[in-house]
Chains A and B, each alone.
Chain A
């Protein structure tokens, strides 16, 4: 059902856990399907210095979370804001159609974190 890359990110997720003293914490959740994700960001000079996540969800949700953290590390906040849920799914080499909604939480949590960070900075 899932391709090798998805299974790899599910089995060996990158950047799992909480960051100490994060600059921003993004959250997203679908009450309906039950998946929730928390994303932690460390930002320096408008660039994502470190990132980590915690996810309650299916294989696609966990793999998407992990994939996203790899995609955004080192990116500027402007670049990161442009990443879409579809980009994450594409980077994973595709997800089964029924699973696309499960991957939608990753970019949403990222955007939430960046928006909160900017608000805090007064931007």
Chain B
């Protein structure tokens, strides 16, 4: 069909940058020692591992000992939520939102089965949580609040500074799943009142299968894994050294280029949004400005999202959808339902997530092919009545 390839699914995962891969390779070939070993090979790797920890801590405004290496966002979230619940012992109360990623949302659902009570805070039509609703939801038995830094589907940024301050005021632990934000926007843990923060390397051009958990000094959850003494016994098991080195390199690059990259992505994003909104009966999902630099999420009325995805795919464009048909479940995404979209509109949602490597030509290409795609699919649709010309 076409040889043109445009990748606009950076919210799902990103390509590993060449510099990152280069940084990783020696740790497969020469520096294969176990960082826990006492011999020279082990010590050399330990030094590099701790250097990676310093880099990551430095970028985040944290102390190195506050960084725990994990396998990614899902594991970091599980360690925090399950570990905090385990430490508490008795059933208690958790506050989270109705738009969390499944790696928080479903963990909370699971903790309910263990006797904990969970408040899933609603969001406004832009997908924003009201910090005052967090304050109102706090109970004497609330032991943790978990609110994502930005939503993965619709890109809306959350007021985590205010929520963190409210949590601190009430002496309740605060966790933020910052998987979509780390490497994209500045984040300073010396100012942000978070006790825990989750991040994942493959969302910022690092390798898959590696991430980190920030756990503030003086705070500790009960370990949910039992094994060796690695990572302060919170995440035992031999460290995935090449991946950790790659993660540090990717975050270092992202931090150095952040201003420029977020500016250029925001420009591309806004061009794509305004181009898409030129099409009849298209609505933007999420907040118009307070959203991730690379996130575009729109609903095409009268069309089901998967059929748009498939059409885009046939023309070389990779995007994603919150429609039921593309997720394997029958329900549309809980995020789109939470912002109040009716079923057909939720089913017509498409997310284009821009990132490293996307340029104006990519935006031009998508804007060039999408009117014909939506027009064709609408002509097939029973609900679409073309406007009389």
Q: Measuring CB to CB, which residues of chain A are less than 8 angstroms from any residue of chain B? A: 2, 7, 10-11, 13, 16-17, 30-38, 54-62, 98-99, 101-102
Contacts and interface: CB of A to CB of B under 8 A. Distances in A.
Contact of A58 (B302, B307, B344, B382): B307
Given A58-B305, A58-B306, 13 more contacts: A2-B310, A10-B307, A10-B310, A17-B379, A33-B331, A34-B346, A35-B325, A38-B382, A54-B381, A58-B307, A58-B310, A60-B325, A62-B380
A11 B380 CA distance: 11
A16 B381 CA distance: 9
A23 to B, nearest CB: 18
Given A34-B343, A56-B303, A58-B307, A11 B314 contact: yes
A61 B331 CA distance: 16
A95 to B, nearest CB: 12
B382 A56 contact: yes
B330 interface: yes
A7 B314 contact: yes
Interface of B: 302-307, 310-311, 314, 323-326, 328, 330-332, 343-344, 346-347, 377, 379-383
Nearest to B326: A58
Q: Interface SS of chain A: helix, strand, loop or mixed? A: mixed
Contacts of B303: 56
Contacts of B306: 58-59
Given A10-B310, A57-B304, A58-B304, A37 B382 contact: yes
B260 to A, nearest CB: 37
Nearest to A32: B330
A2 B379 CA distance: 22
A5 to B, nearest CB: 14
Given A56-B303, A59-B310, A62-B307, A32 B331 contact: yes
A101 B343 CA distance: 17
